[in-house]
Amino acid sequence: MSDAGAIFPPHHLPDHPQAWSAGSPDAEPLLQANGPREWRVSGDWTLLALRGRYDEFRQRIASAVTEGGDALWDLRTLRRLDTAGALTLWQGWGKKPPSRLLWQPEHVTLFAQFMQPAALPKRGPRLGPGLERASLGLLAFARHGVDIVALIGRLLLDLVAVLRHPSLIGWREISANVYRTGAQALPITALVGFLVGLTLSYLISRQLKTYGADIFVINILGLAVLRELGPLLAAIIVAGRSGSAMTAQIGVMRVTQELDALSVMGISHTVRLVLPKVVALAISLPLVALWTSALMLLGGMAAAGAQLKLDPVQFLHLLPSVVEPVNLWLGWIKSMLFGGLIALLACHFGLRVKPNTESLGQSVTQSVVTAITLVIVVDAVFAVLFSNVGI
Amino acid sequence: MDTAEVIIEVDNVTTAFGGHVIHRNLNLTVHRGEVVALIGGSGSGKTTLLRLLLGLEVPQAGSVKIFGHPLGRCAVRDLERVRYRWGVLFQAGALFSALSVFDNVALPLRELKSVPPDLIKPLVMLKLAQVGLKPDDALKQPSELSGGMIKRVSLARALILDPQLLFLDEPTAGLDPDSAKQFVKLLRKLRQELGLTVVMVTHDVDTLFAVVDRVAVLAEQHIIASGPLAEVARLPHHFVRNFFLGHIQRCEEDDLRRFRLSLDDTSDEGGVPAVLREEQTV
């Protein structure tokens, strides 16, 4: 402590009577006419003291400069001056020092930095709306397509390698992913499935009742749920739940350079990260879809029982005879495809994350939106292709 | 100097995480205009102490006062008075990766909601020039910057509100010797110009020699010594002895002064960053 001052005397401390203390509140910044053609600047001219009054002071200074001709500016009684305060004065003076100026020696460096021509950055040419932006969008879309094809190719090659050397299969990862995407999704899919089934059955029953075709509620509900709604609902919920988590996980690994660490160690991203996720979701989504379908039928059964006095035993007994089992298989295969698709898209968007936070958020959103959209598109394609099967 | 105003007062602080005691009855006082360095081995609680000073952690016992305002249990108005008066340079920069360099530095100003845009722009450009960055760098994204530039941008952001107190967490860690030297020169220059009070955590002996007035050694859960470099370096403590191994001679006052004068030599490499010098000659 004792020699610190000797080696390095503090330069900037004002030694005039109203020395300020660091924690004290700001004093009012003042600009006063001190006789004809003389202005006294005093108080605190700091960022916080001037809050909200910059324009007022700049205008007052500017008008003082224009009207006064060759006024004297006295800065010696300033309590505190920082860059913002100095810049306010400077801008008021018209970006040049006034010819008659009295100041404290320690303020010289503050004003000196304004004398250097501060080159302002030029923004690069911004793309306007129109052809250029559209073509860029198209290019980005094409790049996504190329990347996905590359990822699928890589995945297939790795799959062959893994099948040849089964020791490479990450059973632990697959099992963990099945648990996370399947078992942990059971409560939410059960709730949603039951409620949707209930609502659907209620509406259908009301309509059928007017025609006296009560018994057909089993046909409609069974076919719709097992073939379309069950797999679709499960896929949408899992895409929102697990797809986003997968994208975020891989994205964070990019941000924290964990992906680079894996590459350096010669561990393939696809074998260790992508493949287990794709396989696990392709296994767990059909199971979740089956579970969701079952709960939807349960809900439908409950509503039909309440609305049409349909006996649950009769419902279950009639179901296999009116809905062909092939519908179940169709739903099962679709779910498997949906599962693989969701995981693949999640990994694709995760791997494309750039190491910043905004890109991470964007990728997660894109991943979920794209997955849900594609699931519905693929479902529609299936509906067209298999329009003659099982109905 | 002994009568100088107290800026930071840490009084009998005890910190513990999950039963593991990190600080026990720790005391530290920093006066205005001082540059204080915290040194200590890995895991000695330097970073935790810094987080305590920043109000990011709350001590189990004791109090931390900054500018005379106690952290933790103070009114919002008091906290505001503190937060607008300090600048922090985080170890990894902690730049907002979604914002450009300009927006990163301008953020604290914009958050005040009372500074007109035509004042923000020159202020930001001035700070960038002050830390030795080119005007073109303002439009870059943090991911495009090198380690040294991230530190500079982070320093510019810490300085944008013209703080009276500056916290530096390992300011020269991860920089090559030349960049580190440049950074140290920059700190010296800023300190002379702005009269800052600085608290830094550092492992770099050169940084200590270049800018520090007082060294506080953190070991065995408290500050075991606090004083000028020459005094602390002679302490018969195994950590201190290893830390200054081979540097003891440099701690002599005359040598120290000579070393610092060589850094301040503005005729050659000087305190002015290379970028500014080029501009002046143009």
> Least CB-CB distance to A5: which of B1, B230, B279?
B1
Q: How would residue B271 be classed by pLDDT, with cut points 50, 70 and 90?
A: very low
Task: Choose the most confident range, by mean pLDDT, from A51-55, A93-97, A343-347, B121-125.
Answer: A343-347
- Judge contact between A225 and A296, C-beta under 8 A: yes
- What local confidence, expressed as pLDDT, does residue B278 receive? 39
Comparing B137 with A27, the larger pLDDT belongs to B137
Residues of chain B positioned with their CB less than 8 A from the CB of A45: none
- Judge contact between B121 and B135, C-beta under 8 A: no
- What local confidence, expressed as pLDDT, does residue B70 receive? 80
Contact A88 B126 (CB under 8 A): no
Contact B85 A22 (CB under 8 A): yes
Give the count of beta carbons closer than 10 Å to the beta carbon of residue A123.
Answer: 9
- Read off the amino acid at residue B123: L
Residues of chain B positioned with their CB less than 8 A from the CB of A83: 123, 126-127, 162
Residues of chain A positioned with their CB less than 8 A from the CB of B125: 118-121
Single out the residue of A309, A369, A374 nearest to residue A341, CA to CA.
A374
Contact A116 B276 (CB under 8 A): yes
CA distance A57 to chain B (A): 12
- What local confidence, expressed as pLDDT, does residue B151 receive? 86
Comparing B52 with A347, the larger pLDDT belongs to A347
Which residues on chain A place their C-beta less than 8 Å from a C-beta of chain B? 1-5, 7-8, 10-13, 21-23, 25, 46-48, 51-52, 54-55, 82-84, 87-88, 91, 106, 109, 113-114, 116-121, 123-124, 354-358
Residues of chain B positioned with their CB less than 8 A from the CB of A88: 119
Contact B279 A117 (CB under 8 A): yes
Single out the residue of B251, B130, B248 nearest to residue B192, CA to CA.
B130
Task: Choose the most confident range, by mean pLDDT, from A94-108, A293-307, B48-62, B87-101.
Answer: A293-307
What proportion of chain B, given as a percentage, has pLDDT over 90? 0
Question: How large is the ipTM?
Answer: 0.71
- What local confidence, expressed as pLDDT, does residue A349 receive? 95
Residues of chain B positioned with their CB less than 8 A from the CB of A113: 126, 129-130
Comparing B227 with A185, the larger pLDDT belongs to A185
Q: Give which of B36, B119, B189 to mutate to test A binding, by max A Cβ within 10 Å.
A: B119
HSE-CB at A44 with a 13 A cutoff on CA atoms is: 15
Interface subset of B 6-65, CB within 8 angstroms of A: 7, 31-35
Q: How far apart are CA B57 and CA B68, in angstroms?
A: 18
- Locate A91 and state its tokens: 């801008």
- Locate B246 and state its tokens: 């081979």
Interface subset of B 238-267, CB within 8 angstroms of A: 253, 256-257, 260
Which residues have CB under 8 Å from B20's CB, separation 6+? Answer: none
- Judge contact between A296 and A230, C-beta under 8 A: yes
Model confidence pLDDT, tens digit, residues B201-225: 888 887 888 788 888 888 888 888 8
Tokens 């550092």, located at residue: B202
- What local confidence, expressed as pLDDT, does residue A267 receive? 83
Contact A358 B85 (CB under 8 A): no
- Nearest 5°: phi and psi at B90? -80, 160
Size of interface A-B (CB pairs under 8 A): 140
pLDDT average, residue stretch A364-380? 95
Question: Residue A241 carries which DSSP code?
Answer: I
- What local confidence, expressed as pLDDT, does residue A238 receive? 95
In the beta sheet, which residues pair with residue B30? B8
CA distance A360 to chain B (A): 10
3-state secondary structure of A32: strand
- Locate A50 and state its tokens: 């001037």
Nearest CA in chain A to B65: A23
> Least CB-CB distance to B195: which of A13, A47, A358?
A13
Contact B2 A1 (CB under 8 A): yes
Q: Give which of B194, B196, B198, B209 to mutate to test A binding, by max A Cβ within 10 Å.
A: B194
Q: Is pLDDT above 70 for A119?
A: no
Q: How far apart are CA A12 and CA A80, in angstroms?
A: 10
Interface subset of B 75-104, CB within 8 angstroms of A: 81-82, 84-85, 96-98, 102
Nearest CA in chain A to B112: A51
Nearest CA in chain B to A361: B98
Residues of chain A positioned with their CB less than 8 A from the CB of B129: 113, 116, 118
Question: Residue A168 carries which DSSP code?
Answer: G
Q: Is pLDDT above 60 for A209?
A: yes
Contact B136 A22 (CB under 8 A): no
Contact A355 B68 (CB under 8 A): no
Residues of chain A positioned with their CB less than 8 A from the CB of B164: 22
Which residues have CB under 8 Å from B182's CB, separation 6+? Answer: B132, B148, B273
Residues of chain A positioned with their CB less than 8 A from the CB of B7: 22-23
Q: Give which of B5, B157, B211 to mutate to test A binding, by max A Cβ within 10 Å.
A: B5
Mark residue A43 as left, alpha or beta (left: phi above 0; alpha: psi -120 to 50; beta: remaining): left
- Locate B135 and state its tokens: 């005007």
- What local confidence, expressed as pLDDT, does residue A345 receive? 95
Q: How far apart are CA A289 and CA A331, in angstroms?
A: 8
B135 contacts chain A (CB < 8 A): yes
CA distance B178 to chain A (A): 24
Model confidence pLDDT, tens digit, residues A263-284: 888 888 888 899 999 999 999 9
- Please give, one letter per residue, the 3-state secondary structure of chain B: CCCCCEEEEEEEEEEEECCEEEEEEEEEEEECCCEEEEECCCCCCHHHHHHHHCCCCCCCEEEEEECCEECCCCCHHHHHHHHCCEEEECCCCCCCCCCCHHHHHHHHHHHCCCCCHHHHHHHHHHHHHHCCCCHHHHHCCHHHCCHHHHHHHHHHHHHCCCCCEEEEECCCCCCCHHHHHHHHHHHHHHHHHHCCEEEEECCCHHHHHHHCCEEEEEECCEEEEEECHHHHHCCCCHHHHHHCCCCHHHHCHHHHHHHHHHHHCCCCCCCCCHHHHHHHHC
Q: Is pLDDT above 90 for B128?
A: no
Contact B280 A116 (CB under 8 A): yes
In the beta sheet, which residues pair with residue A243? none
Q: For the whole model, what pTM was predicted?
A: 0.70
- What local confidence, expressed as pLDDT, does residue A1 receive? 36
Give the count of beta carbons closer than 10 Å to the beta carbon of residue A145.
Answer: 10
pLDDT average, residue stretch A50-59? 83
CA distance A84 to chain B (A): 7
- What local confidence, expressed as pLDDT, does residue B15 receive? 86
Q: Is pLDDT above 50 for A4?
A: no
Question: Residue A16 carries which DSSP code?
Answer: S
- Locate B208 and state its tokens: 């200590």
Residues of chain B positioned with their CB less than 8 A from the CB of A29: none
Q: How far apart are CA A50 and CA A206, in angstroms?
A: 70
CA distance A106 to chain B (A): 8
Contact A11 B123 (CB under 8 A): no
Q: Is pLDDT above 80 for A10?
A: no
Task: Choose the most confident range, by mean pLDDT, from B156-165, B174-183, B255-264.
Answer: B156-165
